[in-house]
Amino acid sequence: MTRIGIIGAGFMGTTHAAAWAGTGASVAAVIAGPDTPAADLAERYGAAAHDDLDTFLASVDVVDVCAPTDLHERFVLAAAAAGKAVVCEKPLARTSQQGERMLAACRANGVPLLVAQVVRFFPEYVAAREAVLTGAVGIPAVVRLTRATFQPRKAADNWFVDHARSGGLVFDLMIHDIDYARWIAGDVATVFARSVQGSRTEAPSDHALAILRHRDGAITHLEASWAQRPPTFRTAGEIAGDAGVVSWSSDESEPVRVDLEQPTDAAGEIPRVASTLAEDPYTTQIRHFLRVLRGEEAPIVTGEDGLAAVRIAEAVATSIRTGRVVEVSGAEGTDDVGTDREVTR
């Protein structure tokens, strides 16, 4: 049985632990920072709670990094040096330089690096991509992706809203649709973006729009928002291609309507898409990772994909800061997406 070690016992560590447990893998060890102690999560799965990284690493086969974004590099490098397979929560890293070092370390140590860009496992996003690949949509021309929710809130150590740690709205939320846009329409040449906090530092929550120009000619409009009220978490997309247009929206596809005197499920601290599916997409993702680690499947999302998304997010952040059109660096050489494009045509 594959022994999984989880780093971070917050929202995502908890989500991933439940997903691993659901696949039959063994959640063997948990290590976490002071704000989210490892003991509770470890106890739930009969895992060992660690406070020493080396003994933690020695006790597992796979390391799942669910720590705050700015700590990803440190833990991925340690896991790679210990020869452990790595799963890393999105965004891969806070900077592309960190991401490059992470990819290099995993390559040098011969360990797989899987990036949890979970939107690639949400069925409506998978189905929309299928509509592109099968020719129903044809060549993507104009893509629109929306992800609108409230700002993550936590009493202590809200690293999500600490720009230096999380990268803020662009790195934490828009990154999902950045990766998906690239999965659909290929590498990105330039970005132009604006954000509310980019022009009004006093604004209490951020809201960003970005226009991407893809190398193959498509253009994408991205909306990422922390400016909504709880419990709103609205996701929507539209891909207009030369054969057809496919669109989807969480507003239009919630199968259950609840209007109760006493609501029992108030919005949590961290926005989360409501899932009314046989299998939670986080579990679908983890199940896929497990098959990849067992050599049964090719990865749907690679370290290179994770790094490419970080590079685009950096360009978006630079455009917001400078007000200029920004070229995306290092977008050459990600030929896995090119392969998909050949199928598309």
Please give the residue ranges that form the binding site for another protein (CB under 8 A): 139-142, 144, 190, 192, 194, 196, 198-200, 203, 207, 209, 211, 213, 217-221, 223, 225, 227-229, 240-242, 244-245, 323-325
The tokens describing 17, both together, are: 């632990």
SS3 283: helix
Least distance between another protein and beta carbon 297 (Å): 32
Where b means 16+ CB within 10 Å and e means fewer, 60-74 reads bbbbbbbbbbbbbbe
Shorter beta-carbon distance to another protein: residue 7 or 236: 236
Instruction: Give CA–CA dist 172/102, Å, rounded.
Output: 19
49 vs 219, beta carbon nearer another protein: 219
Q: How far is the CB of 213 from another protein (least distance, A)?
A: 5
Contact 5, 86 (CB under 8 A): no
Q: Give the shortest CB-211-to-another protein separation in angstroms.
A: 5
Instruction: At 124, list the tokens.
Output: 């409506």
Measured between alpha carbons, how far is 100 from 6 in angstroms, rounded to an integer? 22
Q: Are 301 and 117 in contact (CB under 8 A)?
A: yes
Token reading at 111: 């360990």
- If the CB atoms of residues 90 and 207 are measured against another protein, the closer one turns out to be 207
* Beta carbon of residue 183, minimum distance to another protein (angstroms, whole number): 18
Q: Which is nearer to another protein, 30 or 236 (CB)?
A: 236
What's the min distance (Å) between Cβ of 82 and another protein?
45
Query: Which secondary structure element, helix H or strand E, spans residue 7, and what is its range?
Result: strand 3-7
CB of 190 to another protein, least distance (A): 7
Nearer to another protein, 116 or 224 (CB): 224
Cβ-based neighbour number of residue 127 at 10 Å:
11
DSSP string, 43-89: HHTTPEEES-HHHHHHT-SEEEE-S-GGGHHHHHHHHHHTT-EEEEE
Q: Name the residue nearer to another protein (CB basis): 29 or 224.
A: 224
